[in-house]
Amino acid sequence: MIVDLILVFSSIIISIFAISYVITHREKYGSRINIILIILLYLFVGILYITLLCLSTIVIFNKETALNLWNAALIVSIFAIVFLSSLHGIIIGYKKIEFLNYFIFSFLGGIIVYLICFVNIFEVKKIGLYYYFSFQNFLLLFFMTILGSSLIILMWYILLINFSKIREKILARLSIINTLCFTIVIFTFAFFLITSNLIIKYLHLISYIITAIIFLYAIIKKPELFIEITNKIYDFIIFHKSGILLYSYNFETGRETEDSLLKGSILIGINHILSNLTNQKDKLGIIKMENRDIVLEYNDTLGYAILLITNKKNEFIDKSIQRFMKRFTELNSKELKSLNGLIDTSHFKNAGKLIHEYFSPYIK
Domain co-membership, 221 together with 253: no
The CATH number of the domain where 333 resides is what?
A: 3.30.450.60
Distances (CA, A) of 84 to 38, 39, 195, 202, 215: 8, 11, 25, 22, 12
Locate the DSSP E strands across 232-292: 233-240, 245-250, 255-256, 284-288
Cα–Cα dist 280/291, whole Å: 28
27/115 same-domain check: yes
pLDDT at 256 (0 to 100): 84
Print the domain residue range for 113.
2-226
Count the domains in the chain: 2
pLDDT value, residue 262: 57
Query: Residues 260, 212: one domain?
Result: no
CATH of residue 141's domain is 1.20.1070.10
Residue 299 and residue 205 in one domain: no
Structural domain ending residue among the three candidates 226, 242, 262: 226
Residues 210, 243, single domain; the answer is no
CA dist., res. 222 & res. 199, Å (int):
33
Sign, CA dihedral 272-274-277-279, equals negative
Sign of the Cα torsion 273, 279, 282, 287 reads negative
DSSP classification of residue 163: G
Are 119 and 101 part of one and the same domain? yes
Pick the last residue of a domain from 205, 226, 247: 226
- Whether residues 61 and 192 share a domain: the answer is yes
pLDDT in tens, 45-86: 999 999 999 999 999 899 999 999 999 999 999 999 889 988
Q: Is the domain of 136 the same as that of 170?
A: yes
Q: Are residues 216 and 237 in the same domain?
A: no
Q: Which residues of the chain have pLDDT under 50?
A: none
Residues 283 and 151 in one domain: no
Same domain, yes or no: 206 and 291: no
Domain boundary, last residue among 226, 243, 263: 226
Q: Which of 183, 102, 192 is nearest to 141 (CA)?
A: 192
